Amino acid sequence: MTDVLHTRVGACWPGTRAVFRGHDLHRDLADVGWMDLYVFGITGRRMAPAALRVLEGIWTLTSYPDTRLWNNRVAALAANARSASVLGLSAGIAATEAGVFGGGPGLQAIDFFLRAGELNRQGLSAETIVERELQTRRILGYGRPLNSTDERLHPLMRLVEREGLNQGLHYRLAFDVEQAMLRRKPFLKMNFAALTAALAADLGFTARQYQLYNILKTLAGMPPCILEAAEKAEGSLMSRSCVEVIYDGVGPRNWGDRAGNDGVPQG
């Protein structure tokens, strides 16, 4: 046992200085942008300006101030119930990690692309990779509820092309995989989760690193919803009694079984 915390990521000495991954935060990093610092903290690498503009663009293109969206709704309901804004924001961020339409598909998508990219380097075609993958699991990032067309893709593609990042192996593979998926089911068009995960793979993110980046991609849409909900009468936002909700899905689960599992694919 020791009371000394050994760390390689940084430390602070109140009244003197702070170190961020080996750099003096107030001297060496004082002029860097927030995205630059955030990604450096995650990966330990300084990204090129073009990559940072794409990473920031991904966040911009997914920040919808629509209270009907699942994570914004959580944040807004908290505000309407007169909870602290930071609690609503924290709850909304936590809800962003949804397994079906939130951070879950993004995690599974980058896990797939990291493996698929290696197989592609070995000479396997996208068709063969898809065929093998579908024998054991789904490929997330293709297909979208409500509308199979993802309105975020074309703006992202324009940004990626403008920044010269459209020739990466995983990025190009994402489109080849889409064609293989469409040959099976015509509604399995690529969605935002696939293309952003492919870009992250090209930029060298691991699955865990991508999760930490990806969890905040809808953040800017939440504060407007919180502020608007707080202005409404308490309890008036989407007011519905619990007895009016009819649920016939999965029964109660033992959440203790999930302790320590943050959803990052293993292997």
Reading the chain (267 residues) residue by residue, the pLDDT tens digits are: 567 888 889 999 999 999 999 999 999 999 999 999 999 999 999 999 999 999 999 999 999 999 999 999 999 999 999 999 999 999 999 999 988 778 889 999 999 999 999 999 999 999 999 999 999 999 999 998 778 899 999 999 999 999 999 999 999 999 999 999 999 999 999 999 999 999 999 999 999 999 999 999 999 999 999 999 999 999 899 877 778 888 888 888 787 655 444 555 544
Mapped onto helix, strand or coil, the DSSP state of residue 54 is helix
Give residue limits of the domains in the chain.
Answer: 9-46, 103-214
Report the Cα 3 to chain-centroid distance in Å.
Answer: 35
Q: Sign of dihedral through CA atoms 88, 96, 67, 238?
A: negative
CA–CA distance, 44 with 38 (Å, rounded to integer): 10
Q: What is the pTM of this model?
A: 0.86
CATH superfamily of 103-214: Cytochrome P450-Terp, domain 2 (1.10.230.10)
